[in-house]
Amino acid sequence: MKKIALQISPEAKAAYFSDFIKVAKKELLAVVGDITVNHINKGSLNFFELEIKHEDFERLLKLSFVQGIYAIDSELLQPLDITADFPLHDDFIFGSKFKGKTNERLTQMLINVGLATINAKPEQGISLLDPMCGRATTLLWAMQYGIKARGIEQDPKALEDIHRNLKKWTKLHRQKHKISDGFIGGSKKNGKFIDFTSADTGMRVVNGDARNTNHIFKKEKFDLLISDLPYGVQHFTTDKTRNPLSVIKQCIDAWKSCLKKRGAIVLAFNSNNPKRNALIEVFESNGFQTMSFSAPHRMSESIIRDVIIFKLKGTI
């Protein structure tokens, strides 16, 4: 075991606002298990002190809030010369800016807690679906982890933007890749898709409705279904209500049939609308169990973002 300090990145503050220490600690404990973690300040810098095995360093570096790892030698912090190994340039995830983008670090956290929930490593051939994927922030993160990614988005303009951004970043960073697009089954009646493969991993985005998930990806089952639900402010849901609950109710059977038996659903949502209990009620009355993880953080007067995780009943 090594005594180390994890430096908490200023990006965590941008993602989790004044709750950043609490949220970061929740993510850390979800990933490494229930160990003793001390929060310390040095000037304006924030650290977590903990003892951990060397082989866990790689996982720690991929936590959404970690800027660097230090070995602790008596009172001195010695920065370790290690970085997280990701196949795509950062710009694929952080470079494109658009209205309604899910914070990149929050998205990374959703993947980390999802993997921890199913007790899996990306190299075990994990697949992920974001059924309301916007401009593919979750899917690109999944590719960074070597996870096969699939997405559905109702807005056709989002697919055009994804295509344009992929072309821009692959060209700028000379990233070897393949991009193709077309209509599912070759018919214009079906949704348009974009396929992007690079660095032994890939994603497919389909223009369609999350309520038809089981038809759009009828031959696939997923380990993780991860999404940042529409908040109703930037992004209306399909039936133009501000509350995504009615759409979720219509999606739930389709999502359930696409989830592997030991898979997990990880959702970020504005807990003012729908309330956490209302989401729990919908999922639990449809054969799911709620995991204990939560990470509430106030984003604005009207949005307290939280994270909720479900597994199928009888699989915990």
Ligand X SMILES: C[S@@+](CC[C@H](N)C(=O)[O-])C[C@H]1O[C@@H](n2cnc3c(N)ncnc32)[C@H](O)[C@@H]1O
Name the residues that contact ligand X, by CB under 6 A: 100-102, 132-135, 137-138, 152-155, 158, 209-211, 228, 230, 235, 237-238, 247
CA distances from 151 to 24, 222, 227, 295 (A): 27, 11, 9, 24
Strand spans (E) along 56-114: 66-73, 76-79
What DSSP state is assigned to residue 191?
A: P
Q: Residue with structure tokens 């602790």?
A: 72
Minimum distance from CB of 166 to ligand X (Å)?
13
Q: Least distance in Å: CB of 155 to ligand X?
A: 5
Query: Which residue type occupies 148?
Result: K
Q: What is the C-alpha separation between 104 and 12, in angstroms, rounded? A: 10
Give min distance, CB of 36 to ligand X, in A: 34
Only one residue has tokens 């106030």, namely 298
Separation of first and last alpha carbons in the chain: 29
Angle at which helices 104-117 and 137-144 cross, to 10°: 60
Q: For the CB of residue 153, give the shortest distance to ligand X in the complex, in Å.
A: 5
Closest to ligand X by CB, 19 or 130:
130
For ligand X, the closer of residues 69 and 226 by Cβ is: 226
In the complex, the smallest distance separating the C-beta of residue 213 from ligand X, rounded to whole angstroms, is: 9
* Closer by beta carbon to ligand X, 189 or else 240: 240
